Structure 1
Amino acid sequence: MFTQLLHYFSKKSSFEKKLYTVLGYYPKNRELYRQALTHKSYKKRGGLHNERLEFLGDAVLGFVVGEILYQKFPKGNEGFLTQMRSKIVSRKTLNKLALEIKLNKLVRYHKSAAHQSLYGNALEALVGAIYLDKGHHKVAEFIQKTLLLPHLDLNDLTKEVVSYKSKILEWGQQNKKKTIFKVLESTGKDHKKLYKVALLLEGEKLGEGTGSSIKRAEEQAAQKAQSQLLIK
């Protein structure tokens, strides 16, 4: 029996063995997981990449996280639960979780596309692949036991700000201050675009941020402005 098991495991590819360290099981459909971990910049796959699985994984992740939060916080209202879900499925959190489970060692991409969000996107695609390969029960187990429980404290997460941009826009509205975000410049090619955004308060620049998307640049600018204005 032991010899048979040894033979079974020895036949597994290097990719499958690495996947096992992340998932805790061997996949039924190996190619589905290869696709999930292949960025569109990786040319050797003949155009097969993870964007469709990322779309599916985003929906599955949102649903499963919603289930978990509904059970975890029985007194939480809709607004609270929505904010908590937004924090968990944010690009920042997904990037962090992807690195925690060492998914970065499995993702394939061209060096021109290298940026941290690539790993969070791949994590969403992986969730989509697990759902298609193993179903709802297995993907829910992966999200809760592999991603959330070991790496996120949901009680601590309740204290985090959802969006610096939302917070500062709310402050501007309450204090009747005109607050706008202005894109100053964008540089780089499609796979490595970089945006610079300024936050203007009553026409005066209060913060500036850069990021691989306008949204990320706005968040950084808002965070800097918030610290200057001492907004809590």
Structure 2
Amino acid sequence: MSDRIQLKRSDVPGRVPAAADLLVGELAVNTADGKLFIKLANGSVMELGGGVVAIRKSQLITSSGTWLRSPNQIGDVVDVTLVGGGCSGGYSGGNVLGGWSAQFAVEAPVDIGAATSVTCTVGTGGASATGLNTAPSPGGTTSFGAYLSVLGGSTTSLIGAAPGGFTTSTTAAATAQGTDTNYALAGRLTVSGTARATGAAGLMLRTAPIQLAAFAGVMTGAQGYGAGGGAWRDASAGYQEGQNGMILVEWWEAVTP
């Protein structure tokens, strides 16, 4: 015979479970009244179904700070999307280099337990530069407290997606796209005798598109959080900053319409 799982319950009409009887997110039922109850993150017990609904909530974090838990959050698990900062464009080994994009994690489930706040660090993009032989600058790490972190675009360990190639052709038009980027396209480039390279594309979300500014007159910047910066070099040079990272936190919340 298979095991049966039953909720905590009472058959006494009008009886409501005490907060001490339930864990956060745990359900209980009154079988006499046909009412269902849940314990919220703030420690209170709420009736479900009696004008109460569960909705999906989210917060986009684009600068370092603190995420505050909603008192009406259901359960202890939040889904977290993280993107590190993108690597800047630069020059190395005789090559003009577009920046690598950052590492990312999408909707990773994170159990925050009883925490009421989480410190968030958003990785910044690698710095821009104008010196002829300036090497690429790595992007910063993005972290959601001690629960989850992702690295920024690297100059050495090839984290994230590959940048676009470079060319010195006066006629060819090159199209570049990162190799592991399912959500956005890198910038496109045309050339007129100057070596130019696009950065790798970053991660696009269900939000307004984000894109690095056009530069060198003819190049569009790569799209997405954590995108790599572009680069150009002839008698002078310009190496674009990487795009900053971000954190998206999503959770379920009990509300009364």
Which TM bucket (shorter chain)? under 0.3
Higher relative contact order (CA 8 A, sep 6+): 2
Larger Rg: 2
Length-normalised TM-score, structure 2:
0.23
More helix by share: 1
More strand by share: 2
Length-normalised TM-score, structure 1:
0.24
